[in-house]
Amino acid sequence: MSDNALTDRPQVTGPPSAGPSLARRRLPRWTPALVVLVSVGLGVGGGSLAGWESRVQQGLIAALLSVIVTYALTSLVEDSRQARDKVATSVVWVCFAAAVVPLVSLAWTTVSRGAELLDGYFLSHSMGGMTNIEEGGGVYHAFLGTVEQVGLATLMAAPVGLLTAVYLVEYGRGRLAQAVTFFVDVMTGIPSIVAGLFVLAFWNLGLGFGPSGFAGSMALAILMMPVVVRSTEEMLKLVPNELREASLALGVPKWRTVLKVVLPTSMGGIATGVMLAVARIAGETAPVMLLVFGNPLINPNPFSGAQESLPLYVWNQYKLGNAASIDRAWAGALTLIAFVMLLNLLARGIARWKAPKGAGR
Amino acid sequence: MSPGPAAPTPRAPAHAPSRTHPEKATDTMAKRIDVSGLTAFYGGHRAIDDISMSVEPRSVTAFIGPSGCGKSTLLRTLNRMHEVTPGGRVEGKVMLDHEDLYGTSVDPVAVRRTIGMVFQRPNPFPTMSIYDNVAAGLRLNGDFRKKELDGIVEKSLKGANLWNEVKDRLGKPGSGLSGGQQQRLCIARAIAVQPQVLLMDEPCSALDPISTLAIEDLIGELKSRFTIVIVTHNMQQAARVSDRTAFFNLSAVGRPGKLIEIDDTERIFSNPSVQATEDYISGRFG
């Protein structure tokens, strides 16, 4: 063993004759927690002393401090390789915190401000016969509108999207498939207001129909379709080719192979994808504003007359700007978030229930 | 897994073919295959070149040769699975008894019902139970009577020496079985549609020696009813299970594979007529 290369390393313990020890001086395991605690204390305390009141400023100071202190401490006690490692780790943690803090703050604000008004009365009443500054009223008409519009949009977009994805993965070859892929990509990037304007020009101005939930759901379907195509495509590509070959080799025609082997195998993922697309369009405001128009009364018929929808309700109530309506806006926002989250949970449930069972390969 | 008592139940095909649309109710199910001047392409690449050979009915024919020499490609041309690969294309003739598989009015789906296939990696359908996996071929073809299905599933699983291991858990997912059991499940699935020829593409290469032995025993039993073609990299396996052996080789990388010789297995392994065969078999290759 050539130990002369390592003799200048700090040695803490180890039998003297057995060559260089593998042990190094280490910081105790609770050091990172202490560093964070101290830097947050310094950030908040020092910031307040210097007159920087903003929480953002104080947070940034604390983050910067914790990275610097970590580096200094580690390079003093351990070695430079460990110091670099620790700095990378702490930068990752700081980024994680920077991503999570706004999310938690958003959820917290919505829940704390929306929960006081959100009850059975709020969910079961409309804004019919109310002046704008009155307290009370509810979200029922908007919730009903959102469910109907999103439901209709899904009925239009999901089958088309699913079949498009089946075409692209199972049948599409050559120019046509390339063109379809290209246009799906382009559609993914369409701003929602453009989809709304398209339906407005085609359906309302061109064909002369008035605003309705159905007009809105057409725009939502345009926005939803590429998302469904993309997610379904990915799921179908995950199905091993061997399963298709196994089925074909049994003398099963291709369309039955797709229907009975490929689609059931990927059904869980497809359902998740569709649900996520639904969640995405449930929060769309711009096309709804143009095409559904808004209505304080309950209109259960999506095919005739203006309707309300949750995002539109939130926008309108917030715009009114008095205490009662702003409370209603927060409660409406909470309803929307809860609805979307429920759909997400449902999608996960379906995915787990439908996933191929038994030991994986 | 238990090694499976080699209780042979080689009841010759005394059962009447219970399928509803047999082209001809033949009592001898196995058929012979004659390949002549067969060339297969992947796009512009020529994978195998001008192959002519014949496969005898009710016997096991083994394909051996180095990787990339086109054994699997040739196997896949025999039930028109080659053209499933994008760019796959075939020239030449494959005669099943007196019918050209590549004739203009031949339906590839019908060909695959007649000529079954077992793949290298066990591939049971993950969404289906053991029972449904075996019944899949009949069910997906819409070609069954409910009453008969139980009997066919049992018979196929017995035929694949798997019945005793799974009879108590037919409703469990097929992917929960061990690798060797899964492969026998795939064989049961393939023979459930009562094909006349069974193609096996390295059926044991993903299995341990005990499972391999079980499959080899099974091949020995199945050859009384089917024409079997097996691709293998394992020379001992070819010597153990096959009656005839075909040796393939390619002159250089990127060149198409060629049939060097086909003969009785004993002759190929004792004194082959071509030097390259002897070199390959004795490990003095290249």
Express each pLDDT in A124-161 by its tens digit: 988 888 887 888 888 999 999 999 999 999 999 999 99
Rounded Cα distance between B248 and B53, Å, is 12
Min Cα distance A259 → chain B (Å) is: 10
- Coil vs helix vs strand at B165: helix
Q: Which chain B residues touch A261 with a CB distance below 8 Å?
A: 125, 127, 140
Which pLDDT band, with edges at 50, 70 and 90, does A17 fall under?
A: low
Domain ranges of chain B: 33-123+197-281
Prediction ipTM score: 0.82
Q: Which residues contact A46 (CB under 8 A, 6 or more apart)?
A: A61
Closest partner CB to B137 (pick from A242, A250, A358): A250
| Token pair recorded at residue A101 | 């803090």
Cβ-contact B249, B280 below 8 angstroms: yes
A353 touches chain B (CB under 8 A): no
How much is the average pLDDT of A218-244? Answer: 94
Min Cα distance B140 → chain A (Å) is: 6
8 Å CB contact of B140 and A248: no
Rounded Cα distance between A76 and A71, Å, is 8
Q: Which chain A residues touch B79 with a CB distance below 8 Å?
A: 249
Express each pLDDT in B128-144 by its tens digit: 899 999 999 888 887 66
Q: Is the pLDDT of residue A266 over 70?
A: yes
Q: Is the pLDDT of residue A10 over 80?
A: no
Average pLDDT score over chain A? 88
Express each pLDDT in A333-360 by its tens digit: 999 999 999 988 888 888 788 766 544 4
Q: Which chain B residues touch A359 with a CB distance below 8 Å?
A: 175-176
8 Å CB contact of B126 and A243: yes
Query: How many CB atoms are closer than 10 A to CB B266?
Result: 12
Lowest mean pLDDT among A52-61, A85-94, B47-56: A52-61
How many C-alpha atoms does A143 have within 13 Å on its Cβ side?
22
- For B133, the closest chain A residue by CA position comes to A247
Q: Is the pLDDT of residue B15 over 50?
A: no
Tell me which DSSP letter residue B144 carries: -
Rounded Cα distance between A4 and B41, Å, is 64
How much is the average pLDDT of B3-11? Answer: 43
**Residue in B127, B132, B152 to test binding to A, most A beta-carbons within 10 Å:** B127
Rounded Cα distance between B193 and B137, Å, is 6
Query: Any idea which architecture B33-123+197-281 has in CATH?
Result: 3-Layer(aba) Sandwich (3.40)
B92: alpha, beta or left, given left = phi > 0 and alpha = psi -120 to 50?
A: left
8 Å CB contact of A264 and B175: no
Per-residue H/E/C for chain A: CCCCCCCCCCCCCCCCCCCCCCCCCCCCCCHHHHHHHHHHHHHHHHHHHHCCCCHHHHHHHHHHHHHHHHHHHHHHHCCHHHHHHHHHHHHHHHHHHHHHHHHHHHHHHHHHHHCCCCCHHHHHCCCCCCCCCCCCCCCHHHHHHHHHHHHHHHHHHHHHHHHHHHHHHHHCCHHHHHHHHHHHHHHHCCCHHHHHHHHHHHHHHHCCCCCCHHHHHHHHHHHHHHHHHHHHHHHHHHCCHHHHHHHHHCCCCHHHHHHHHHHHHHHHHHHHHHHHHHHHHHCCCHHHHHHCECCCCCCCCCCCCCECCHHHHHHHHHHHCCHHHHHHHHHHHHHHHHHHHHHHHHHHHHHHHHCCCCCCC
Query: How many CB atoms are closer than 10 A to CB A326?
Result: 15
A255 touches chain B (CB under 8 A): no
Closest partner CB to B113 (pick from A251, A257, A356): A251
8 Å CB contact of B173 and A356: yes
Q: Which domains does chain A have, with CATH numbers?
A: 31-114 (no CATH), 140-354 (1.10.3720.10)
Express each pLDDT in B70-104 by its tens digit: 899 999 999 999 988 888 899 999 999 888 999 88
- The amino acid occupying position A264 is P
